[in-house]
């Protein structure tokens, strides 16, 4: 007696139009999206501060709480570093780093609402801030 091995033929019903391609707009890089912790489409001082703190910790790879000009690399020019180093000890501590980032945020904040949107991030200071904290 032959036992026929039955292979189940799955009859697939082609579903047309069921899977529309995902809208590609989510892929557009937005500086706000990466920093916007509360998803209100703007970056406020606390979101900026968190990013600044994270980036500071990354730059301060020996963990002594200070970063020097060399460690900052392209993030800051010599003059900017001088300005940020308010106690003139040739390193930036986290507070100095944050205050400098905050000063950029204030200048970039064109409409003075205390937050930066995508448009404001495109300003000179906005870009600088982004380069600093990302
Ligand atoms: Ca936000
Ligand atoms: Ca250090
Ligand atoms: Ca200093
Ligand atoms: Ca604003």
Domain that holds residue 117: 30-133
CATH number for the domain that contains residue 48: 1.10.238
CA dist., res. 129 & res. 133, Å (int)? 6
- Expressed in angstroms and rounded, the spacing between residue 96 Cα and the centre of ligand 4 is 23
User: How does pLDDT run across 7-55, given as a tens digit for each residue?
Assistant: 454 434 444 444 444 444 555 568 788 899 999 999 999 999 999 999 9
Distance from residue 31's CA to the centre of ligand 3 (Å): 28
Ordered DSSP codes for 56-68: HHHH-TT-SSEEE
Query: How many separate domains does the chain show?
Result: 1
19 Cα: distance to centroid of ligand 1 (angstroms): 32
Task: Say if 9 falls within a structural domain.
Answer: no
Q: How far is the CA of 124 from the centre of ligand 4 (A)?
A: 14
Nearest to 92 by CA among 127, 121, 57, 48: 57
Q: Is residue 122 included in any domain, yes or no?
A: yes
Alpha helix ranges (H) inside the chain: 31-35, 45-59, 69-72, 78-84, 94-108, 118-121, 124-133
Residue 73 within any structural domain of the chain: yes
In a domain, 76, yes or no: yes
Which tens digit of pLDDT belongs to each residue from 47-82? 999 999 999 999 999 999 999 999 999 999 999 999
Q: Is residue 6 part of a domain?
A: no
Say if 48 falls within a structural domain: yes
C-alpha of residue 93 to centroid of ligand 1, in Å: 26
Q: Which residues on neighbouring strands pair with residue 91, listed in sequence order? A: 68
Position 2 confidence tier, pLDDT thresholds 50, 70, 90: low
Per-residue model confidence (pLDDT) at position 30: 80
13 within domain boundaries: no
Give residue 84 CA to ligand 4 midpoint distance, Å: 23
Of 104, 107, 67, the C-alpha closest to 85 is 67
Residue 10 lies in a domain: no
């Amino acid at each position: 007696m032959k036992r026929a091995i039955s292979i189940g033929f799955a009859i697939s019903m082609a579903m047309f139009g069921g899977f529309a391609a995902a809208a590609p707009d989510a892929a557009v890089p937005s500086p706000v999206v990466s920093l916007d912790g509360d998803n209100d489409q703007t970056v406020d001082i606390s979101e900026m501060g968190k990013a600044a703190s994270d980036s500071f910790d990354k730059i301060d790879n020996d963990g002594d709480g200070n970063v020097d000009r060399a460690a900052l690399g392209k993030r800051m020019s010599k003059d900017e570093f001088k300005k940020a180093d308010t106690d003139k000890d040739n390193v930036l501590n986290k507070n100095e780093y944050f205050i400098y980032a905050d000063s950029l945020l204030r200048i970039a904040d064109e409409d003075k609402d205390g937050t930066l949107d995508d448009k404001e991030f495109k300003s000179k200071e906005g870009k600088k801030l982004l380069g600093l904290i990302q």
